[in-house]
Structure 1
Amino acid sequence: NDFWAVSLPNDLATSSPRSPSLFAYHAALVLLDAKALFSKIKVADLLDPSMHANRAAVERHHLFPKGFLSKQKITGIRDTNQIANYALVEWGDNANISDQAPADYLPNMKARFKEMELERMYRLHALPANWEHLDYRDFLEKRRELMAQVIAEGYSTLVAEKIGEDLEEVEIDLSKLVLNGESEAVEFKSTLRTNLHTGDKDARMELAVLKTLSGFLNTNGGMLIIGLSDDGTPVGIQADDFTNEDKMSLHLVNIVKSRMGIQAMTSLHAHFDDHDDCRVMVIKCRKSPTPIFLKDGNTERFFIRTGPSTTELSASQTQEYIKQRFMG
């Protein structure tokens, strides 16, 4: 909605080191278990005051260093110290980077990490693609938008934690969730099994639902609401043409058990609710203690949530993710 897409990016257009929006971004990095930029150490650990060093363990690094910007005739503190130009790094990296151009220092920094690590790092540190080659003003604008998305993702983990506290008993304000829109922890689907364009049952609709559920289970949990379009418009569950709600619940249980395994069902709870005069199915997902694979024909696929979307990982990415998420 407008807050995440317009108001928050505008609030991030500041050089104030005590901006509430900056604090929200740093809090989101902690909630999302992010590591400092170009580091193997978590932001939460680096911000821990019990860590001692000659300098602070973590420092705010100018992504476009002031010395570099001065050569571009950008010297005002309000310009160089925009919070969108800062990232949290270990102090040693900050000292090594000094006033180098981003395109000069970035290759050596990236060489330390695997592709999947870099993808997550770029997402959580709100770095646009090829940011090192962008015009500084364009970079700031794009990064503010991405920072707002990270803050939204951090907020969504609080929703996911609330969902996971007790799948059956925690009260969820459905209207508020719908108003906030889709996020890492919330997604809408129009139907469980019916293609609204053809009016026929369509296995692709079921697959889309199962992808979302497996993504929630493999990440931080979440909630899938069936009976709402992508923008939250009420559709209702009548298009799925089940005899009654019990039949719809049983169908969900059967496809989850057959394609994701009985373990997945222990982390799911479905119920029905009313929203804007429409009946919807609400599926709450707890963060799974074990990896959940989705059977698709003769193959098994692995999905996670990345922001408000579900992403399939390759075999090597899956192996690395399982090592970090389930065995770390």
Structure 2
Amino acid sequence: MSELKTCFKRVDYDLSSLLHFIDVGDIGLPDIQRPFVWKNAKVRDLFDSMYRGFPVGYLLFWENAVESGAKQIGLDEKQRDVPARLIVDGQQRLTSLYAVFRGQKVLDENYAYRQIEIAFRPSDGKFEVADAAIRRDPEWIPNISQLWSSGASSRKLVNGFIEKLGQKVELSEAEEEHIAHNLDRLFDLQKYPFTALEIAQSVEEEQVADIFVRINSEGVKLNQADFILTLLSVFWEKGRTDLEQFCRAARIPAKGSDTSPFNHFLEPDPDQLLRVAVALAFNRGRLKSVYQVLRGKDPDTGEYDPQRRQDQFDILAEAQEHVLNLNNWHQYFKALVGAGFRSGELVSSTNALLFGYAFYLIGKVRFGLAEHQLQRAIGRWFFFASLTGRYTSSPETVMDGDLARIREIDTGEAFLSWLDGEITSELTNDFWQITLPSQFDSSSARNPQLFAFFAAQNRLGAPVLFSHKTVSDMLDPTIKTTKKALERHHLFPKAWLEAHGVSDQRMRNQMANYALVEWPDNIDISAKAPQDYVPQIRLRFSDEDWAEMHRFHGLPIGWEAMPYDQFLGQRRDLMAGVVRRGFEKLA
């Protein structure tokens, strides 16, 4: 119990002091330079609560492990190069307050700058998000940031507002007094009291997360990536800026001959790319183990060494440079396309995608493998990891184990051999003949086995069902239409099944009842029985084309006349065969 009492202390601030400490760098506030997730309406509610004198929650700070005598920057000797306190909980609140009181713009979730404009009506003390109507209404101050950023005295601003409003509406002396009182109360928000819990620098990140959960009413666990991103803001701002600029650019298609990280698989967030860099730099899949490394903690003495910290950040910086290299980035996605995955629509696991990129970089950077070797090996690995859901359950633990097993590998040939060994040990005949067919017994809309089936069709050059076009062409992500070029079609239509006694929705939506068809066919088929619509479509095709279409779509000849449950069983086996042929073609 005594140890718990010494792990933090309580410190009281007023808002003006907090803003000052942020200004001089004593408190690190990285959110001004990272995506701000609060909506303006939530910022409005924060100001309204403070104005009414309501409590708005604790702040949670963590004393930073910095060397004494940290260098100073600028002319003001009070400015700190390294913050003394890191914000663990309360970042969004302080970002909101700092942005409004200092008139600073924030980044939104799409990495676009925006101004938070909170309006105030002094006549009744009402806050609102500014809009066009409010900006035209003289009763409102459309952006309260101007009150603090103008440099004018509060009395001058109060008198100026009353005078301007008096030109539009007639005000009594009592009304003027009431408006002045409400404006004074607004200015007094700078004196609003905050209580912070400041955790000692010796406390480990797991304990910090536990403290956070215990005092936070929402009970949301801290993300380990948030800890490391905060460290980047403090000790390596350029690294964090580079990550965020890359993520921002990945959301915007390149124009003309410009280069861009934009792709059809992933709009990455900084913490996702950070995971890849950590895997490449330190052979770690668990971020929590890297946190202590980047703080510069000596595992023997427990002391924090600035030089050790700098050395570790140098290693991370080199790894991140490879992660953000556009050639590496796009070549990796080419490996996925080569494996049959045309876009993110066929990817059920973001973890598999990110960890696949880490293995691509390990093969290229650490082992110097040729691109043609990587394209085949990583394409197969991603197909395998996606198909088996390798990184679906406890992804950090599984990846950490994978990285541990290749830590002692010292040649490219051994690395490729390890990848192949992992694949063949799991994709046995029993997997193809028993496990995979049973996994097709599902109605999940984003089942990884179904996506692997579509990827295999792409890889095999399969025609679209009931069409001479190919699945690959119709899944081209660069083609944008008002409707999807291909739609999932129920071979036995849902309405027909229900009319024939199949009342269970899971049974009607079985994966084995799905096929990709062009959407005009889907509309035409509607709720017709397979025995009715299939013979009409059959007339369009030769015997050879009809047989080939069935082979690529895992359809037994004469399926349209089968009992539904018998059809599902046979098709699951055939679909597993299609996936196997598509995967084996990658070799």
Using the size of structure 2 for normalisation, the TM-score is: 0.27
Structure in which a larger fraction of residues adopt strand: 1
Using the size of structure 1 for normalisation, the TM-score is: 0.48
Q: Choose between structure 1 and 2 for higher RCO, CA contacts under 8 A separated by at least 6 residues.
A: 1
Structure in which a larger fraction of residues adopt helix: 2
* Greater Rg over alpha carbons, structure: 2
